[in-house]
Amino acid sequence: MIQIDQLNYAYGHKQVLKNIHLEFPKNQFSVILGRNGCGKSTLFKLMAGLEPVKDGLIRYSGKPLSDFKGKDRAALLGFLPQFHKTVFPFLVKDVVITGRAAFSRYRPSKSDWERVDQALLDLDIEHLRDRPYTELSGGERQLVMIARILVQAPKVILLDEPTNHLDVYYQSYLMKKLRQLSRQNFTVIAIMHDPNLAFLFADHLFFMREHEVVKPESKTRITDPKFLKSVYDVEFHEAMIQDKTIVIPDHSWL
Amino acid sequence: MNMQNLKYYWFYPLPFLMIFISLLIGPTQTLNAWDYLRWGVQAVFGTPYFDAEQFRLMKNILVNVRLPRILLTFMVGAALATAGNGLQALFRNPLVDSYVLGISSGAAFGAALALSLSWLSPNLSAFIFGVCAVALTYLFAHQKHESQTSLVMVILSSMIVSGLFLAGLTVIQYLSDPFKLQAIVQWTMGNLHQASWQKVQYGVLPICIGLAGLFAMRWRLNLMALGAEEAQAVGVNPRWEQLLLIVLVTVCTSTSVAAAGIISLYGLFMPHIVRMLIGPDHRYSIPANMVLGGSFLLMIDNFSRVLLTFEIPIGIFTMLLGAPFFLLLMKTQRTHWA
Amino acid sequence: MRLLVSILTVFILYGCSSSEQKLKTQEKLAAHSICVFDSTNTKVCVAKPAQRIASLFESGLDGLYMLGQGHKVIGIPAEVYIQPLLFNAYSKIDQRIANRELATPSQGANATNIESLVLLKPDLVIVGSGQTQTIELLRQFGIAVYVMESGTYQQVKEELSEIAVLSGAQKRAQEILSFSDEIVAEVTAKTARQLNKQSIYYAWSGGRIFSTSGRKSITNDFIELAGAYNIVQTNANQPNVNPETLIEWNPDNIVLWNTNPKLIYERKELQGLSAVQNRKVFNLSPAFIYNPHTIKIIITAIYLNHSIYPEQSDLPVSALQQRILTQLYGERLAKALVQ
């Protein structure tokens, strides 16, 4: 679905991405993991089209992002930005319906409003429909923004650290929803730094370290502590719970 | 139309009421509201209250003095309030006035230049330089390597442009004799008493175009008010819409400055009042600003007409009302740059 | 310790400078014998009649030429070169101005270059009352500064005679003033025979027809000298009127300054005014000969008097104007200035 070839990016003289080569499969939930400063946010910006690609290629279904314009672009790609504060106390339903802005030019249609109701239902937030957005908690706001993307219904959904401001309840809730969405014909790609949530919910995992993509050696598991140490510079211990593996940081110093 | 939606629409008949009342109000002692009502009766039923001479006089005042002024005031009020609303959405900041892009300094400079050279029309010159100021602001703020223009840069560059034009204005004032100086000062304070049918004719087309454009964009202003990145997140490139908004706002504001001088702070507090009554949704607040913006300025002007025999520039009234309001807002509102 | 020394130094320097200035001015005052009190009520003295006069006040400059003291002028205000009306008139009066030979140490009503003014070595400087800082500075240098206002007819006469005293032209001033008193008396006598005094509405130039002058202004003075009354009753200097108010007042006459009467005749809302219907809108042009801040205010008065009471005149207005101008400037200029 999404192919990234020989992508390089520099801010001035500082090389932020080195020769990135990635492939994200369709209708799957993929996660990119790594430490702060490894370049994953820059990768996100390039994939979302917020910065122009100068050296390398990012292709969506074989075509570069710049080939998609207007409605086609909106139908292809939607993303969740990191910070979303707003000054004006718009009602939640009015915020969500702006997701249709690329399709309905001057005023939203009846079917647009129906999509809004459906999206709010899917995310279990219909009770917030007529509340001012500025009164919501961080987690609720995040869900409203996700509802916006659902209403837009793009093929690819990109999220940058979506679980950052959420409490435990909303974190697992959101991850569950993202996985469900990938089964409902969306391709979901998220940037995260917490490995465990990714191990539990994602279909595919990619790792970055110091501006490069790193892969475990063949036959090594991704949860292998040696590999994870090379990514995170932290000693981990593996543990198996039911059928899933999680990792916890080493605490022998306690 | 159910009861809940009534709050969005109750004020729509207001302009007609206001215009009717305003026609009856004037500074003259002899021609007051009762006289006009009797005039109406005479016109319809033929009861001889006034002789032909007086009749002609009253008609002259009504049609040639009051009506153009009322129409001009309404147009300018609507233009300033709606432009202010649009800019507040663009900058995601409710503390923004319709003059924030540097229009007022450019227009004041243009008018002063015209008044001191006396072969140029001050209104046309004000319009041209107002537009120049906005163009310069946008030009300075635009950065090629960024995918869009940062709004903080726009504010900073508008400050630079304002500073330049104000320096020019000061030079002109410094070199002018006292009479020209008075003319310049009076022009900048806002003058509706020189309203004429000519001014109405020149102003009506640009303002109508500007307002029509803003009306068409009213839903998209919601998106814009959420932020540039939030717009891109749903596949919309905000750049062209921002540019279009700036053009529409500039047309509205420049025309009203050209017609009536600088009416301070009106484009700031009127959208606020509307927002307090109607809410932040621009689908309702844009038309409301047109209707209420025009009516309210008309009310202020009526007040100034009745209060004093001699004209005080309307900019003073809006400043006196606007400044404490602005202060109140600053204290109670939390602002931030997203 | 260093702080103390620097403070002391500052005090000493300050003390030196101010005492030096005071000494200079006191020395000069003691030796002078020709003194007048100007519009700021300050005593202005010169040792002998001034020979080098810089006038930064246009009406004062005009007065000097009328008094025949034009050859003593060494500095003029910049507006004489900048404003076409003034330049045309003064070029005819003084060849040096036509050739742009006279220095202009001022840029406008507020900007006087003190250095260039002092370098001209004037023994008398005539300034308008608005330039307070310039006046102070010049007086500190010990230069005689005469401050003019010319805000009323009375003041215009006083100031003309005071300038005459300072430049040694008292006899000529006497001639002019008694002549103008004669003219005013004639007009008054004529007006006394009028049954009803007419009203005048004065509109400012540059198309600001709704800006007018109140009762305490020079405009009011020439309206009254013309034998009419100002329809504006307030004392405010430059009030703006609502067009409705103007219509209600319905003045008998409208007077404009250097503006085409077409501007009034074309306005739809003013069609009902009697002044418009009876074509009694008068334009004071060429503006130079009507300047009310000089003794030429009597020309304005005569012109208006004859225009608003036409039945009463025995001579055409232009002849009367020529008579006055000849008395003030001489025959040749009198003809040249009206073109």
Nearest residue to B179 (alpha-carbon basis) of C299, C109, C281: C109
Using CB atoms, pick whichever of B93, B222, B338 lies closest to residue A94.
B222
Nearest CA among B18, B85, B22 for reference residue B289 = B85
Indicate yes or no: CB of A73 within 8 angstroms of CB of B235: yes
Choose among A91, A85, A51: nearest CA to B337.
A85
Query: Do the Cβ atoms of A90 and B222 come within 8 Å?
Result: yes
Identity of the residue in B229, B280, B338 whose CB atom sits nearest the CB atom of A90: B280
Kindly report, residue by residue over A127-136, the tens digit of the pLDDT: 999 999 988 8
In angstroms, the CA C233 to CA C231 distance is 6
Q: Which chain A residue's Cα is nearest to B215?
A: A106
Q: Which of A41-45, C234-238, C298-302, C334-338 has the lowest mean pLDDT?
A: C234-238
Question: Which sign, positive or negative, has the C-alpha torsion C296, C298, C299, C301?
Answer: positive
- Residue B121's φ and ψ, nearest 5 degrees, are -80, 130
- C147-175 tens-digit pLDDT: 998 888 999 999 999 999 999 999 999 99
Would you call A78 and B236 a contact, using CB atoms and an 8 Å cutoff?
no
Rounded to whole angstroms, the Cα distance separating B212 from B36 reads 34
Q: What gap in Å lies between CA A111 and CA A153, rounded to an integer?
A: 13
Least Cα distance to C291 among C170, C182, C160 occurs for C160
Secondary element (H or E) of residue A167: none
Residue B335, pLDDT score: 46
Give the chains touching B; criterion: ≥3 Cβ pairs < 8 Å: A, C
Q: With beta carbons less than 8 A apart as the criterion, state whether A126 and A96 touch.
A: no
**Mean pLDDT on C98-105:** 89
E strands, chain C, where?
Answer: 34-37, 43-46, 53-55, 73-75, 124-128, 145-148, 199-203, 229-230, 253-257, 281-284
d(CA C290, CA A162): 81
C255: left (phi over 0), alpha (psi -120 to 50) or beta: beta
C235 contacts chain B (CB < 8 A): no
CB atoms within 10 A of CB A247: 20
Nearest chain A residue to B217 by CA: give it. A106
In 3-state terms, what secondary structure has residue C259? coil
Task: Give the pLDDT band of residue C331 (cuts 50, 70, 90).
Answer: confident
Contact check, Cβ <8 Å, B283/A52: no
Q: Which residue of B has its CA nearest to A154?
A: B234
Give the model confidence (pLDDT) of C110-133 as tens digits: 677 888 888 889 999 999 887 888
Task: Give me the average pLDDT of each 10-residue run along chain B (338 residues).
Answer: 68 86 74 73 75 78 87 95 94 84 90 84 88 89 63 85 93 80 80 83 92 94 88 85 92 91 88 87 93 92 80 83 75 50
* Spans of chain A, pLDDT less than 70: 83-84
B227/A98 Cβ within 8 A = no
- Other C-beta atoms within 10 Å of C115: how many? 8
Do chain A and chain C touch with ≥3 beta carbon pairs under 8 Å?
A: no
In whole angstroms, what is the distance from residue B230 CA to residue B228 CA? Answer: 5
Question: Would the CB atoms of B147 and A99 count as touching at under 8 Å?
Answer: no
Sequence letter at residue B203: G
Q: Select the residue of B94, B231, B281 nearest A87 (Cβ to Cβ).
A: B94
Report the C-alpha gap between A131 and B68 in whole angstroms. Answer: 45
* Bridging pattern class, strands A156-160 and A77-80: parallel
**Contacts of A117 by beta carbon, 8 Å cutoff, 6+ apart:** A126, A129
CA dihedral (A183, A188, A194, A195) positive or negative: positive
Contact B233 A79 (CB under 8 A): yes
Rounded mean pLDDT, C203-228: 86
The single-letter DSSP state of residue B29 is: S
* Residues B163, B142 contacting (CB under 8 angstroms): no
DSSP A99: G
CA A196/CA A194 separation, integer angstroms:
6
CA separation (Å) from B232 to A45, A78, B147, B244, C21?
A: 11, 8, 11, 17, 72
DSSP line for B224-251: HHH-HHHHHHTT--HHHHHHHHHHHHHH
For B106, other C-beta atoms within 10 Å of its C-beta total 32
C-alpha distances out from residue B204 to B80, B201, B210, Å: 14, 6, 10
- Residue B183 in contact with partner chain C when CB distance is under 8 A: yes
Across the range C127-145, mean pLDDT stands at: 86
- Report which of C236, C199, C135, C87 is spatially closest to residue B182, judged by C-alpha positions: C236
Q: How many of the other CB atoms lie within 10 Å of CB of B235?
A: 25
Q: How close is the nearest chain C Cα to the Cα of B137, in Å?
A: 32
- Residue C48: CB atoms within 10 A of its CB come to 10
Helices and strands (DSSP H and E) totals, chain C: 16, 10
Return the sign of the alpha-carbon dihedral for residues B150, B152, B158, B164.
Answer: negative
Do the Cβ atoms of B186 and C211 come within 8 Å? yes
| pLDDT tens by residue, B97-114 | 888 888 889 999 998 998
| Crossing angle of the two packed helices B122-141 and B238-260, in degrees rounded to 10 | 150
Report which residue type is found at A196: N
Q: What is the pLDDT of residue B336?
A: 37
Could you please report the per-residue DSSP string of C268-302? GGGTT-HHHHTT-EEEE-SGGGG-TTSTTHHHHHH
Q: What single DSSP character describes residue B268? A: H
DSSP, collapsed to helix, strand or coil, labels residue C20 as helix
Give the closest of B29, B64, B305 to C242, CB-based.
B305
Closest by Cα among B163, B183, B216, B203 to B294: B203
- Write out the DSSP string of A230-252: HHHSS-EEEEEETTEEEEEE--T
Question: Is C touching B (3+ C-beta pairs, cut-off 8 A)?
Answer: yes
Given a contact cutoff of 8 angstroms between Cβ atoms, the answer to whether B297 and B82 are in contact is no
The one-letter amino acid at A210: E
Q: Does B66 touch chain C (CB under 8 A)?
A: yes
Contact, C92 vs C329, CB < 8 A? no
Q: Does B311 touch chain C (CB under 8 A)?
A: yes
Q: Is the pLDDT of residue C253 over 90?
A: yes
CA separation for the pair B31, B12 (Å, rounded): 29
